[in-house]
Amino acid sequence: MLDRRRAPSARADRLVDPQSFEPIPAERAREIAERLDGEAFVRWLGLRFEEIRLGYARLRLAHRAELNQGGGVVHGGAIASAIDTAVIGAILSTLPERPRLLATIDLHVHFLDAVSDEDVVAEARVRRQGKAVVFVEIDARTAAGREVAHGEVACRISQ
């Protein structure tokens, strides 16, 4: 008989090690973070980049009551927005300059657990990068490390 209790996450032992990604110049990382952190929607959500390395970005969605849906948990749209925004930091870290257009063309989010009264940390890593399309994988966890969502995103780049 199938045991229906929650099994340990197969991904939990595969935490991303930011040190496995090459550092980029501090000035470039700061430029990417400040530019994205300065966007109105990013500011309103309370997203802040914490680390950007080559092909990797980590950002934090600071919890606040306005992000909760009726059931008292963080709205999935806020988590999906954090996932989508983390992707941009990871992609920009691989490019010498900001492209003319960088747009999400496919976004899949698998919600794994609810979040109440906690920050969410999203870590994005570039999986494959072509000339025009980039594929990125993202894991979102609570600040305490509990896995809450997994995302896969494809973005179109136009120079």
Q: What is the pLDDT of residue 14?
A: 59
Note whether residue 8 is domain-resident: no
- Report the SS3 class of residue 69: coil
- pLDDT-derived band at 37, boundaries 50, 70, 90: confident
* For range 29-51, the mean pLDDT: 94
Residue 104 lies in a domain: yes
The verdict on residue 65 lying in a domain is yes
152's tokens: 């896969």
Q: What is the pLDDT of residue 48?
A: 96
Residue-wise pLDDT for 91-111, tens only, equals 999 999 889 999 999 999 999
| Residue 11, pLDDT above cutoff 60 | no
Going from the C-alpha of 88 to that of each of 63, 116, 127, 134, 135, the distances in angstroms are 21, 26, 13, 10, 11
Q: Total domain count for the chain?
A: 1
Secondary-structure breakdown of the chain: helix, strand, coil percentages, each rounded to the nearest 5: 25, 35, 40
* Residue 12 domain flag: no
Identify the domain containing residue 54 by its residue range.
18-158
Closest CA to 154 of 102, 82, 98, 89: 102
Q: Provide the CATH number for the domain around residue 23.
A: 3.10.129.10
Share of the chain above pLDDT 90, in %: 82
The predicted structure's pLDDT at residue 15: 72
Task: Tell me, yes or no, whether 25 lies in a domain.
Answer: yes
Q: Is residue 1 part of a domain?
A: no
Integer Cα distance of 155 and 159 in angstroms: 13
pLDDT bin (cut points 50, 70, 90) of residue 65 is very high
The model's pLDDT over 116-139, given as tens digits with 9 standing for 90+, comes to 999 999 999 999 999 999 999 999
> Does a structural domain hold residue 134?
yes
Residues ≥6 apart with Cβ < 8 Å to 47: 36, 37, 59, 60, 61, 62, 81, 82, 85
Is residue 143 situated within a structural domain?
A: yes
Q: Are 156 and 101 in contact (CB under 8 A)?
A: yes
